[in-house]
Amino acid sequence: MTGDWREIFSRLLDEEDLSEADARLLAMALRDPPHRREAIEWLRFEAILRSRFSPTPQIIGRSKARLVERVLERETGPSDRLPSGRSRRRRISMILAAAAALAAAVLGTWWLTRDTYPRPEIRGDVRILRGGVATASGTRPRRGDTLIAGPGGASLTLGGYCRIRLDPRAEVVIAGYPQKEEIELQNGRVVSQVDPGRGRYSVRTLHGSIEVAGTEFAVALEDPKPKGETSMNPAQKSLARMLTVSVIAGTVVCHLGEKTLTLGTNESYLFAGDREEGKTHGTVVSAGEKELQIKAGNATVTLTVSAEKKLIVKEVSQLNPGDAVTATWVAEEGRKFVTRLDGRGKVVGKVTRVEAPWIEITPENGKTQKFMPKWIGGMPADGGGHDKKVLTAIREQKVGSVVEITWVIEEGKRVVDIKPVH
Amino acid sequence: MDQPPLESSGPQMRKKGAAANVHAPFQDLVDRHYRGLWSYISFLTGGAVETDDLSQEAFLLAFDRLAAGKEFTGDPGLWLRGTARNLVRAWWRRKRRVSSELAEAIDLLAEESDEPAEVLGDAEVQAALDRCLGKLGADDRRLIAQRYEEGLPFARIAEQRKDSAGGLRVRLFRLRQGLMACVQRQLSGKGTA
């Protein structure tokens, strides 16, 4: 060894026992203020280096969850294993203490609820890691634990009101507090069902958190498709992962980056560092020049149509109430701007005009609509043109006949099939 | 603000205070200060694995304080950092078994480091560190990864590399010294990208 105090300090940080002589030399060096300042820099750098190789936000999240567990344990005692010996005596005293606490608890609702508050329950194919170490089979999960679902998936219940389905290979950490349940999604997809009025629930990821009260929704965290060699550090890799939130019923509030976003039934949102987009699926309520209203579940979602997006303006103008569509949008300043429309539907009506490639039909009690076939095969010089099969079918139609037209949205509503209705 | 005793052996439930509803203020305290305190303790211990336990101990003492009906006046962060320093001092003495002479010297370090240490998550620092790590040779990078990413003890690394643990310690010390100097150069704008 060199006898340099810095090297001795470095060994101390590496958890090595120091000899008496080295400890004395280091103590003497640290009495000197400039050396102390240098040692503080060493400490700081060591912590920076360690945080570079461990995703600190996740570690802190787990540590916080474990703190909550420790607070609860002090009231009720650990329940994941049968107690024995000293721990049994401790358990008895804890039970007595809990009974005493219960007597006082009428004065504070938390103390009342925590003694009866349901502990986390897990069923299915799952591994439980505690402090990074796998626990024995049959161990009950607690806050701070990491749960990794096996190929069969698993289901987790928190607080008796949050039922969470873990897809195969999904990985979550139990965090949160009683009546403010939270999981930290590390990997994979979870579907959560939350009973209304029983407490709060949120799913936290590195991208942000998704909060909910009484709903069903899915959150998935996946790796993006590889785009060649990357030299991202672990933290960057984590942030590049794709987060998808899909609401099955109810409403959720997403806090993603600096953005807060409300999603309702049949809406989803993809968040992946350099890319963000939402989707709303439902039926058209109204379609105007500046606004598109879609009924998604029980709610009506208002989307904004930007005048600069000529194609979107055109596609929206062709929509009719009742059309089933999926609108893709980006959220800006609290509004959802439509960037793409997808949809497919059928309409029955009388042919009122045929002027290939156009066909015009008028549904009974509906407004007249014009359709043309899809464009296939690039530029006309390259052999591109309207779908020939559909074009022929259009030419064969007679004004006055009744037809069923199947349409898709592809640069406007396009007819893909025509059938006579007898 | 008054601090808990230096050699706290872990908080005990105070039943008198249990009646008070401390849930909301404690939750608020945890939400506001946990990350900052954890980073501070990580800094004071050089990123030791006991950072978790020490952070939790500090907050459990805060919980006891609230449960005893003592509210925080002023900045609770100051109280938490003072408590954390006491716990870290005790940790150096008891867990790391350093001599009282060295423990006193380390006490001085902790006293002179009363800052939240949010620098850990600083993107600029991390970017500088990444650039410096990128300048290392493949084997040096592997050694750093074995130590920090895989968390292997020196004896294990030495066994894998068929090398002496002492030699590896010295090599890692020099690597860290070089990296620290490189990061400082990068941050002062003198480093080359």
pLDDT in tens, A311-346: 999 999 989 889 999 999 988 877 889 999 999 999
Residues of A in contact with B125 (CB under 8 A): 48
**Both tokens of residue A418?**
């025509």
pLDDT on residue A57: 66
Q: Could B177 and A52 be called an inter-chain contact, meaning their C-beta atoms sit closer than 8 Å?
A: no
Q: Spell out which residues of chain B touch residue A107, defining contact as CB-CB under 8 Å.
A: 19-21
Domain extent listing, chain A: 5-53, 58-227+234-273, 282-342, 344-420
Question: How many CB pairs lie under 8 A apart between chains A and B?
Answer: 180
Q: How many CB atoms lie within 10 A of CB A290?
A: 10
SS3 A422: coil
- Closest CA–CA distance from residue A77 to any residue of chain B (Å): 12
pLDDT of residue A253: 84
Q: How far is CA A396 from the centre of its chain?
A: 50
Same domain, B33 and B98: yes
Query: Is B154 in the same domain as B178?
Result: yes
Can you give the pLDDT at residue A343?
92
Same domain, B49 and B107: yes
B78 and chain A in contact, CB less than 8 A: no
Q: Does domain A282-342 have CATH number 1.10.10.60?
A: no
A15: left (phi over 0), alpha (psi -120 to 50) or beta: left
Domain tally for chain B? 2
Return d(Cα A331, Cα A277) in angstroms, integer: 8
Query: Rounded mean pLDDT of chain B?
Result: 77
Number of H helices, E strands in chain B: 9, 0
Would you tell me which residues 89-118 of chain B have a C-beta closer than 8 angstroms to some C-beta of chain A?
A: 96-99, 101-102, 104-106, 108-109, 112-113, 117
The domain made up of A58-227+234-273 has a fold known as Jelly Rolls (2.60.120)
Whole-number pLDDT of residue A127: 93
Give the DSSP H/E element, type plus range, for residue A358: strand A358-362
Torsion, Cα of B2, B8, B12, B17 (10° steps): 0
Give the minimum alpha-carbon distance from B155 to chain A in angstroms, rounded to a whole number.
Answer: 11
Sign of the alpha-carbon torsion through A249, A61, B184, B171: negative
A17 contacts in chain B (CB < 8 Å): 97
The pLDDT assigned to B190 comes to 57
Strands A402-409 and A208-212: unpaired
- Comparing alpha-carbon positions, the chain A residue that sits nearest to B104 is A27
H runs (alpha helix) in A14-84: 20-30, 33-53, 56-76
Domain limit, last residue, from B61, B90, B111: B111
Q: Note whether A14 contacts B98, CB cutoff 8 Å.
A: no
Q: Smallest Cβ distance to B129: which of A48, A97, A231?
A: A48
Q: How far apart are CA A353 and CA A369, in angstroms?
A: 10
Quote the DSSP letter at residue A270: E
Task: Find out whether B161 and B172 touch, Cβ atoms under 8 Å.
Answer: no
Report yes or no: A347 and A318 within 8 Å, Cβ to Cβ. Answer: no
Q: What is the pLDDT of residue A237?
A: 55
| Shortest CA gap B191–chain A (Å) | 17
Contact B38 A101 (CB under 8 A): no
Residues 6+ positions from A116 with CB-CB distance below 8 Å = none
Q: Chain B residues with CB inside 8 Å of A68's CB?
A: 30
Q: Of B175 and A228, which is predicted with more confidence?
A: B175
Question: What ipTM was predicted for this assembly?
Answer: 0.77
Q: What residue ranges of chain A have pLDDT lower than 50?
A: 1, 79-115, 228-230
Residues B40 and B98 placed together within one structural domain of the fold: yes
- Determine contact, residues A246/A297, Cβ cutoff 8 Å: no
In a domain, residue B158? The reply is: yes
Q: Write down the CATH number for the domain with range A344-420.
A: 2.40.50.140
Predicted pLDDT of residue A151: 92
State how far residue B50 is from chain A, nearest Cα, in angstroms: 11
pLDDT, one tens digit per residue, over B148-160 is 877 777 778 888 8
Q: Residue B30: its pLDDT value, please?
A: 87
Last residue in a domain, options B44, B76, B111: B111
Contact yes or no for A62/A144 (Cβ under 8 A) = yes
**Of A98, A103, A100, which is closest to residue A114 (Cα–Cα)?**
A98
- Contact between chains at B47 and A235 (C-beta distance less than 8 A): no
- Give residue A350's pLDDT: 94
Q: Nearest 5 degrees, angle CA B77-CA B79-CA B85?
A: 100
CB distance A322 to A374 below 8 Å: no
Helix (H) or strand (E) holding A151: strand A146-158
**Residue A153 parent element (H or E):** strand A146-158
* Residue B9 belongs to some domain of the structure: no
User: pLDDT tens for residues B74-121?
Assistant: 888 888 988 988 888 888 877 677 777 887 788 777 777 765 555 555
- The whole domain housing B97 covers 15-111
| Same-domain pairing of B133 and B100 | no
With an 8 Å Cβ cutoff, is B120 touching chain A? yes
Any domain includes B117:
no
Whether the ω angle into residue A321 lies within 30 degrees of 0, i.e. cis, is no
Determine, yes or no, domain membership for B42.
Answer: yes
Chain mean position to CA A36:
46
- Is B127 near chain A, with CB under 8 Å? no
Which chain A residue shows the shortest CA-CA distance from B37? A60
Query: pLDDT at position A234, please?
Result: 52
In this prediction, residue A342 carries a pLDDT of: 93
- Which residues of A are less than 8 Å from B18 in CB distance? 101, 104-105, 108, 111
Please state, as a whole number, how many other Cβ atoms lie within 10 Å of the Cβ of residue B170. Answer: 15
Domains A58-227+234-273 and A282-342 fall in the same CATH topology: no
What token pair was written down for B66? 């609230």
Contact A235 B126 (CB under 8 A): yes
